[in-house]
């Protein structure tokens, strides 16, 4: 004969009280039972309490009133979005920094298990950036833009920057500009090589082109963001270490927005807002040529 289960307390709950006061009372009694069974100062009970507090503070969904299928749809959407999300997207001009600064930065981020999207292919000038790149930008929490001397030569890089700036404004995405051996004023005001590049784009698309006008605006806006400056006489590895350190710090807060970013190593002078200075094997690395090189195809860290 099946033995009867013995209980210490019997609660008779009716109606909605079962989900409110009654549920809380039941949980409190159970908690008291654990304290009594294991001891109030038990390491086991403290561990359970700590775990419950931590999980309650995690971002998630609250399934309150409404149909369950609606909550299930939200859970599926959130999980699907998380599975395709990248931590960091790197936009850069391949011939300038692929085999130097950007390559070292990618490897350093990968070692810290950041899922990073970095370019592995090149596009001809004027080619539309693939949808996979656009999706990678949109699903990343942080975009790093390596503004090197010839970045503006690439229409693909400028298209990427346009998507990045849109995501910063519409999705609160964090954007870090890296001024790689160029002054922020050069980017902001499109001087020197940036002036030459934009003049060439105007000649191709027209002086009154809305596309070129938007590119100019994006360059000015990204140059106004807090970021990192690498001078020509500085060691690249030191800046790589600083960027990775800052990425780790921001990862603990799941990437706070750029307006609250407090970069260490702030230097005064002309640019007083600037901080001075996991991977699968990459796919075929294309030899650099005069064609416009796209700034992104997938290289990721598991």
CATH at residue 86: 3.40.50.10140
In a domain, 96, yes or no: yes
263 and 160 in one domain? yes
Q: Does 141 map to a domain?
A: yes
Q: What pLDDT sits at residue 122?
A: 58
Going by pLDDT thresholds of 50, 70 and 90, the confidence category of residue 24 is low
Confidence check: pLDDT of 9 > 80:
no
pLDDT at residue number 278: 32
Virtual torsion, Cα 53, 56, 58, 62, nearest 10 deg:
180
Q: Is residue 26 part of a domain?
A: yes
Residue 75 belongs to a domain? no
Six-digit token string for 148? 């090197």
What end-to-end distance do the CA atoms of the chain give, in Å?
54
Instruction: Evaluate whether residue 148 is within a structural domain.
Output: yes
Residue of 44, 122, 138, 160 marked active site: 160
Whether residue 234 sits in one domain with residue 194: yes
Confirm whether 135 is a catalytic residue: no
Q: Into how many domains does the chain fold? A: 2
From the list 69, 92, 73, the residue with the least C-alpha distance to 295 is 92
Same domain, 43 and 139: no
> For residues 275 and 80, which has the higher predicted lDDT (pLDDT)?
80
Domain that holds residue 37: 17-58
Q: From CA 87, how far away is CA 95, in angstroms rounded?
A: 24
Say which residue, 119 or 280, is predicted with more confidence: 119
Mark whether 48 and 111 lie in a shared domain: no
Does residue 128 share a domain with residue 97?
Answer: yes
Residues 49 and 172 occupy one common structural domain: no
Task: Say yes or no: 105 and 219 in one domain.
Answer: yes
Indicate if the pLDDT at residue 15 is higher than 80. Answer: no
Whether residue 146 sits in one domain with residue 180: yes
Predicted TM-score of the model (pTM): 0.61
Instruction: Tell whether 293 is covered by a domain.
Output: no
pLDDT of residue 68: 76
In a domain, 128, yes or no: yes
Residues 146, 247, single domain; the answer is: yes
Check residue 74 and give its pLDDT.
75
Predicted local distance difference test score (pLDDT) of residue 260: 31
Does a structural domain hold residue 48?
yes
Based on the fold, state whether residues 243 and 182 are members of the same structural domain.
yes
Are 162 and 261 part of one and the same domain? yes
Residue 41 has pLDDT above 90, yes or no: no
Residues 149 and 268 in one domain: yes
- Lowest mean pLDDT of 43-47, 98-102, 104-108, 243-247, name the range: 43-47
User: Could you tell me the pLDDT band of residue 186, with boundaries at 50, 70 and 90?
Assistant: very high
What's the mean pLDDT when you consider all of the chain? 77
pLDDT digits (tens, 9 = 90+) for 236-294: 999 999 999 999 998 765 544 333 333 333 333 333 334 433 333 332 333 333 344 44
């Amino acid at each position: 004969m099946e033995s009867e289960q013995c209980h210490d307390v019997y609660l008779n709950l009716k109606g909605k009280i079962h989900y409110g006061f009654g549920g809380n009372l039941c949980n409190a009694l159970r908690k008291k039972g654990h304290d009594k069974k294991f001891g109030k100062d038990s390491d086991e009970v403290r561990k359970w309490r700590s775990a419950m507090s931590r999980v309650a503070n995690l971002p998630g969904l609250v399934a309150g009133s409404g149909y369950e299928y609606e909550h299930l749809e939200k859970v599926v959407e959130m999980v699907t979005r998380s599975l395709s999300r990248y931590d960091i997207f790197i936009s850069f001009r391949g011939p300038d920094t692929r085999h130097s600064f950007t390559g070292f930065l990618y490897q350093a981020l990968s070692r810290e298990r950041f899922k990073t999207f970095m370019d592995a292919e090149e596009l001809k000038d004027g080619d539309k950036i693939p949808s996979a790149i656009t999706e990678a930008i949109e699903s990343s929490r942080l975009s790093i833009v390596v503004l090197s001397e010839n970045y503006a030569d690439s229409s693909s890089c400028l298209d990427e920057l346009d998507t990045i700036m849109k995501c910063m404004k519409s999705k609160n995405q964090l954007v870090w500009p890296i001024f790689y051996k160029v002054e922020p004023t050069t980017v902001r005001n499109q001087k020197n090589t940036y002036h030459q590049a934009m003049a060439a784009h105007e000649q191709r698309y027209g002086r009154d082109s809305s596309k070129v006008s938007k590119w100019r605006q994006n360059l000015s806006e990204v140059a106004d963001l807090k970021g990192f400056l690498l001078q020509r006489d500085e060691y690249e590895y030191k800046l790589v270490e600083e960027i990775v350190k800052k990425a780790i710090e921001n990862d603990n807060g799941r990437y706070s927005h750029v307006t609250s970013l407090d970069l260490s190593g702030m230097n005064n002078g002309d640019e007083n807002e600037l901080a001075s200075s996991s991977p699968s094997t990459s796919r075929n690395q294309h030899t650099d040529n005069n064609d416009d090189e796209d700034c992104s195809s997938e290289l990721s860290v598991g």
